[in-house]
Amino acid sequence: MPISRFLFFSSKHRFRQPLNLIRSCSSTRITNPAGGLLGLAGIATFVHYNDERRAVRKGQGENSGPNRVTGPIIGGPFTLIDTENRLVTEKNFLGNWILLYFGYTSSPDVGPEQVQMMAKAIDILDSKKNLKILPIFVTIDPQRDTPAHLRAYLKEFNSRIVGLTGPVGAIRQMAQEYRVFFKKVEEEGDDYLVESSHNMYLMNPSLEVVRCFGVEYTAEELAEEISKEMKKAST
């Protein structure tokens, strides 16, 4: 199944990160076949240009004035439901190093591989490096992934993985804030798949995204890179 990679750029929220974070998340720009109108093309070019200007290392843009560039923004507040049907927000996770992944339980290939990698990586960090990471799985298919279904699915990988679901609108808003693309792909009958990006985000205890990991990592490599980031933050 082809995996689309697309990053939404938003300037509404407060988490600021450097250019290498954006570069670490490879992307494919998706265009609208009907968007041939010059006006729409001009708007898209303008938005992309401004996002590119924002995507620079903090402090390396214009040095003063109202046009000073302070860096791109990833993340934001959210309100979702955990696998015990409890309402949770981003504030519930403050103080923890977090490995965040957006997926869905019906994913036939890449999704289970990524969750397995997440589970193995946190075990390596815990047992070999004595580092604690809170793994969080946010479903992008809330219509099928009920709290109970999500709980049973994640238990098969690692019971420490926190599962989050919620209304479609809330999931879409969070996905946009974290530049996660997903799209329903209809199949025969009532069945469907969900095309999506498969990036994982490492977040520090202040809930700032510090690294983005793609599907090219093994569990051992992922654990090593997370360890480096945590040690870097402690020095």
**What's the order of all strands across the beta sheet hosting 79-82?**
87-89, 79-82, 162-165, 134-139, 98-103, 200-203, 209-213
The whole-number pLDDT of residue 21 equals 52
Mean pLDDT of 103-119: 92
Evaluate if residue 12 carries a pLDDT over 50: no
Q: Which residue has the higher pLDDT, 27 or 201?
A: 201
Mean pLDDT of 146-162: 96
CA distance 222 to 200: 10
Evaluate if residue 81 carries a pLDDT over 60: yes
Taking a C-beta distance cutoff of 8 angstroms, is the pair 142, 174 a contact?
no
Evaluate if residue 67 carries a pLDDT over 70: no
Mean pLDDT of 224-234: 95
Evaluate if residue 70 carries a pLDDT over 90: no
Question: Which DSSP string corresponds to the chain?
Answer: -----------SS--B--HHHHHHS-------TT---HHHHHHHHHHHHHHHHH-S-TTSS--SSTT-----B-----EEEETTS-EEEGGGGTTS-EEEEEE-TT--SHHHHHHHHHHHHHHHHHHHH----EEEEEES-TTT--HHHHHHHHHTT-TTPEEEE--HHHHHHHHHHTT--EEEEE-STT-EEEEE---EEEE-TT--EEEEE-TT--HHHHHHHHHHHHHHHH-
Q: Enumerate the β-bridge partners of residue 102.
A: 138
Q: Which residue has the higher pLDDT, 170 or 73?
A: 170
Distance of CA 51 to the CA centre of its chain: 18
Mean pLDDT of the residues in the chain: 76
Residue type, 171: I
Evaluate if residue 92 carries a pLDDT over 70: yes
- Non-local (6+) Cβ contacts of 182 within 8 A are 102, 140, 175, 194, 195, 196, 197
- Note the pLDDT tens digit of each residue in 141-150: 999 999 999 9
